[in-house]
A and B are shown apart, each in its own frame.
Chain A
Amino acid sequence: MNPTEWITRRGVLGATTALLAAPPMIETANAQSGFDWRRFRGQRIEVSLTQNPRSQILISNQREFEEMTGISVGAEAIPEQQHRQKFAIEFTSGRPSFDVVGISLHVSKLQIGRAKWCTDLTPMIQDASLTAPDFDFADYGQGIVEYARQADGRLDTLPEFTDYFIMYYNKELLAAKNLGVPRSFDEMVDSARKLTDPSRQIYGNVGRGLRNANVVLWTQFLLGTAQKDTLNAQRQLITDTPDAIEAGRIYQTLMRDCSPPGSVGFNWNECQTTFMQGRAAMWIDGVGFAAPLEDRTRSRVAGKVGYAVVPRGSASHHCCMFGTSFGIAEASQKKGPAWLYLQWASGKANQLRYLTGGAGSPARTSPYRNEEAIKASRFPRDFFDTLVESAAISRPGLPIILPVTEFRDTIGTALTNTIGGADVATELKRATDAFRPILEASERAA
């Protein structure tokens, strides 16, 4: 049939009318389901995120949110250090340029909570007209929700990501020396010594040595002691105790005797590069750094990486936990659209993308139960098992205090000095004495 014969004027008019009527019909359907994703259509929100693989996932899928809601999003992703400064300064000004902000709970939670920079999300979560029926708040891990909640009970940020410290190991290097995966820190030190061969530029361990960044590796060792934490119940500093010194000695031995020269300046990225080149047998760090290791175009160890929970300490077994979350600026005039963005950004679909893409462990629990997606992932089964096992033994890796950066700098300098050969007990005592008045002043101000 000739097209000109079956395309009639009446047909074109009918089709056009149907097309024009379609969006209102969808909206009506949404309204009938009790929730209207498009109620704020035509508005625009600004989103300020930290630059990391998760933000990249959100930004690259942002169109999905915009099409679903009709809200346009201006999103930026800034390197972590600069981002913290930016949002702190903008919040202080009273007129932040963003409606939604992504924060690190282990650094900024207390700062944001005390200044009340972000709005309490609890009323929105409980408002059925503002919260989608499938949002399912109970899906978030209870631990991370409590980690995000402020001391006064306000939930001013919505958990996004939980970072656990795990142990990455090079299966080939361990097998070559007939060594199993270490189950305790003592075994780890022993294996690291056996694996270290400077003449071949192969080292048993690689880890953070850079001031500030290195503190979390030391707190990982501290979590294996009876003391576990850096503050006591009275919120006093206990970083020069026998347990703290024991953790410092494990750190010093691994970093000084079993790590590549120059580790004193290594942050996670130098560690990652060294591990990817096959120069290090073991690496304890955050789970979010896994993706490039399995990238065959960039990594020499792709397919050879083993994943395990961190070894047990002398008195207990825990792994460091950190977290990130999203908040809505109290000063924002668009809290409704911003809340829709939060629901989408930390919704089940994006959280699954985080997990299967190796961008980190999601704050929700449902992705871990999605067997189909896990099977289709390029990560081996032990990666996912390690995440689930780590969640069960996780504890905060840093004290929840306001001057956390000063804490990391002061203790971090002491740890850096120990790599150079300084005495662990002396360095920790000096750092503790230096930081104690800062902490006390901060606690008094609170």
Chain B
Amino acid sequence: MSIALSGVAAAGANPRRRNYARHYWWFVAPCGVVVFATILFPWVFTLFMSVHDWKLGGGRSFIGLANYQRLFTDERFGWAVLRTLYYTALAVVFPMLLGTAAALAFNRKFPLRGLARAIFILPMMATPVAVALVWTMMFHPQLGVLNWLLTSMGLPPSLWVYDANTVIPTLVLVEVWHWTPLVMLIVLGGLASLPVDPYEAAKIDGATPLQVLRHITLPLLAPFLIVALIIRTIDALKAFDTIYVITQGGPGTSSETINIFLYLNAFAYYNMGYASAVVVVFFLIIVALAMLLLWARQHFKDAA
């Protein structure tokens, strides 16, 4: 024992062995460089740009927090924030409801269930831009198939994305069609992992199917629903491709969300400084919402 201890002591005294850890950094360095180049540097540079008046193709000058001050007085930005929240609320609630209902239906055994599931998740496989282009043709007020269907059934035609009042619900319709299958898949995975015991106990106690759903299934599914909610919320907040392809923020500015506003400022008006300030504020909004949802998830866990 004493020999072993003295051996360790000797090794510790060896300067080469003692400084060995410093060589580990070389192994971490490649990852460190990648993280710095792709995450840290863009962020630092965005913050740097946000405190400058920076026009692409022109000069730049330091203006402190003027871009942020301008944001809080910019009516167009204010409306873009409200529209983003409205769009997000609709594009989260409907896929969550429909996805959960679909998962409960597909969890039951019925003939050709596998085929039905596969067909249901097909929209999720489609490329968003291609989907948006097809929907754009379908929404055409005179030549689109949707108005043809409505009028064939004796219903009045709609202006869909060609009217300021209906544009956001119509865009949400595309989002719901596209992403409800994702919620369904997450919830279906949750349903498959639920224990059988509570259901057997409920059956013995004579619980109705609605009581089973309300008091057993939904509480047990809560962690999965929260995960789906977080994913959907972040996806809906950053929705860009569908809106840009179908309406480009129009008619007027009636579907201009923060992403569209940001894109126009950066790449159509070339106001890189102002657009960077929008990025920073938008990031803070997303972080705040994500933290709220994570807190809710923890709350459900603790309650369970």
Q: What are the residues of chain A within 8 A of B142 when measuring CB–CB?
A: 201, 260-262, 274, 277, 279
- Are A445 and B247 also in contact (CB < 8 A) when A262-B163, A413-B253, A416-B252 are? no
Per the bound structure, the CA–CA distance linking A114 and B249 in Å amounts to 30
Task: For chain B, residues 121 to 170, give those with C-beta under 8 angstroms from any C-beta of chain A.
Answer: 140-143, 157, 159-164
Q: How far is the CB of A207 from chain B (nearest CB, A)?
A: 14
- Select the stretch in A12-20, A83-91, A222-230, A315-323 that faces chain B: A83-91
Task: For chain B, residues 16 to 55, give those with C-beta under 8 angstroms from any C-beta of chain A.
Answer: 55
Q: What are the residues of chain B within 8 A of A405 when measuring CB–CB?
A: 264, 268-269
**B57/A265 in contact, CB under 8 A:** no
Interface: A92 (CB within 8 A) = yes
**A111/B57 in contact, CB under 8 A:** yes
**B247/A265 in contact, CB under 8 A:** yes
**B57/A88 in contact, CB under 8 A:** yes
Task: For chain A, residues 383 to 405, give those with C-beta under 8 angstroms from any C-beta of chain B.
Answer: 403, 405
Per the bound structure, the CA–CA distance linking A273 and B160 in Å amounts to 18
Q: What are the residues of chain A within 8 A of B164 when measuring CB–CB?
A: 264, 420
Interface: A210 (CB within 8 A) = yes
- A261's partner among B55, B159, B253, B268 (CB-CB below 8 A) is B159
Render B264-278 as a binary contact track against A, CB cut-off 8 A, 1 for contact.
100111100000000
- Are A262 and B58 also in contact (CB < 8 A) when A81-B268, A210-B250, A403-B269 are? no
Interface: A417 (CB within 8 A) = yes
Render B241-260 as a binary contact track against A, CB cut-off 8 A, 1 for contact.
00000011111110000000
**A416/B162 in contact, CB under 8 A:** no
Q: What are the residues of chain B within 8 A of A210 when measuring CB–CB?
A: 248, 250-251
Render A208-241 as a binary contact track against B, CB cut-off 8 A, 1 for contact.
0111100000000000000000000000000000
Q: How far is the CB of A103 from chain B (nearest CB, A)?
A: 13
Q: Closest residue of chain A to B272, judged by CB?
A: A92
**A211/B252 in contact, CB under 8 A:** yes
- B162's partner among A92, A115, A117, A262 (CB-CB below 8 A) is A262
**B143/A265 in contact, CB under 8 A:** no
| A: number of interface residues (CB 8 Å) | 36
Q: What are the residues of chain B within 8 A of A416 when measuring CB–CB?
A: 250-252
Q: Closest residue of chain A to B142, judged by CB?
A: A260
- B57's partner among A91, A211, A270, A406 (CB-CB below 8 A) is A91
Q: What are the residues of chain B within 8 A of A403 when measuring CB–CB?
A: 269
Q: What are the residues of chain A within 8 A of B57 when measuring CB–CB?
A: 88, 91-92, 111, 114-115, 117
Q: What are the residues of chain A within 8 A of B248 when measuring CB–CB?
A: 210-212
Chain B contact residues (Cβ within 8 angstroms of A): what range?
20 to 34
Q: What are the residues of chain B within 8 A of A209 when measuring CB–CB?
A: 251
Q: How far is the CB of A424 from chain B (nearest CB, A)?
A: 15
Q: What are the residues of chain A within 8 A of B249 when measuring CB–CB?
A: 211
**A409/B264 in contact, CB under 8 A:** yes
Q: How far is the CB of A306 from chain B (nearest CB, A)?
A: 22
Q: How far is the CB of B237 from chain A (nearest CB, A)?
A: 23
Per the bound structure, the CA–CA distance linking A32 and B55 in Å amounts to 50
**A114/B58 in contact, CB under 8 A:** yes
Interface: B59 (CB within 8 A) = yes
**A445/B59 in contact, CB under 8 A:** yes
- Are A445 and B58 also in contact (CB < 8 A) when A210-B251, A417-B252 are? yes
- A262's partner among B141, B264, B267, B269 (CB-CB below 8 A) is B141
Q: What are the residues of chain B within 8 A of A212 when measuring CB–CB?
A: 248
Q: How far is the CB of A405 from chain B (nearest CB, A)?
A: 5
Q: How far is the CB of B269 from chain A (nearest CB, A)?
A: 5
Q: How far is the CB of A253 from chain B (nearest CB, A)?
A: 18
Per the bound structure, the CA–CA distance linking A279 and B140 in Å amounts to 13
Q: Closest residue of chain B to A82, judged by CB?
A: B267
- Are A265 and B162 also in contact (CB < 8 A) when A88-B270, A201-B142 are? yes
Render B184-223 as a binary contact track against A, CB cut-off 8 A, 1 for contact.
0000000000000000000000000000000000000000
Per the bound structure, the CA–CA distance linking A114 and B58 in Å amounts to 8
- B143's partner among A81, A88, A273 (CB-CB below 8 A) is A273
Q: What are the residues of chain A within 8 A of B268 when measuring CB–CB?
A: 81, 85, 405-406, 409
Interface: B82 (CB within 8 A) = no
**B58/A261 in contact, CB under 8 A:** no
- A260's partner among B55, B59, B141 (CB-CB below 8 A) is B141
**A115/B58 in contact, CB under 8 A:** yes
Task: For chain A, residues 43 to 101, give those with C-beta under 8 angstroms from any C-beta of chain B.
Answer: 81, 85, 88-89, 91-92
Interface: B93 (CB within 8 A) = no
Q: What are the residues of chain A within 8 A of B157 when measuring CB–CB?
A: 261
Q: What are the residues of chain B within 8 A of A261 when measuring CB–CB?
A: 141-142, 157, 159, 162
Q: How far is the CB of B78 from chain A (nearest CB, A)?
A: 14
Render A263-288 as a binary contact track against B, CB cut-off 8 A, 1 for contact.
11110001001100101000000000
Interface: B97 (CB within 8 A) = no
Render A237-269 as a binary contact track against B, CB cut-off 8 A, 1 for contact.
000000000000000000000001111111000
Q: What are the residues of chain A within 8 A of B140 when measuring CB–CB?
A: 262, 270, 273
**A211/B251 in contact, CB under 8 A:** yes
**A277/B143 in contact, CB under 8 A:** yes
Task: For chain A, residues 113 to 131, give those with C-beta under 8 angstroms from any C-beta of chain B.
Answer: 114-115, 117
Q: What are the residues of chain B within 8 A of A260 when measuring CB–CB?
A: 141-142
Q: What are the residues of chain B within 8 A of A265 when measuring CB–CB?
A: 161-162, 247, 250-251
Per the bound structure, the CA–CA distance linking A274 and B142 in Å amounts to 8
Q: What are the residues of chain B within 8 A of A263 when measuring CB–CB?
A: 162
Q: Closest residue of chain A to B157, judged by CB?
A: A261
Could you name 22 residue pairs across A and B whose Cβ atoms are closer than 8 Å? Answer: A85-B267, A114-B58, A117-B57, A210-B251, A211-B248, A211-B249, A211-B253, A260-B142, A262-B142, A262-B160, A262-B163, A263-B162, A265-B250, A270-B140, A274-B142, A277-B143, A403-B269, A409-B264, A416-B250, A416-B251, A420-B252, A445-B58
Closest 4 CB pairs of A and B: A262-B162, A262-B141, A265-B162, A416-B252
| B interface residues (Cβ-Cβ under 8 A, vs A) | 55-59, 140-143, 157, 159-164, 247-253, 264, 267-270
| A interface residues (Cβ-Cβ under 8 A, vs B) | 81, 85, 88-89, 91-92, 111, 114-115, 117, 201, 209-212, 260-266, 270, 273-274, 277, 279, 403, 405-406, 409, 413, 416-417, 420, 445
Q: Knowing that A81-B268, A85-B267, A92-B57 are A-B contacts, what are 10 other residue pairs whose CB atoms are under 8 Å apart, sorted by A's residue number?
A: A88-B57, A111-B57, A114-B57, A115-B58, A201-B142, A261-B159, A264-B163, A264-B250, A265-B247, A273-B140
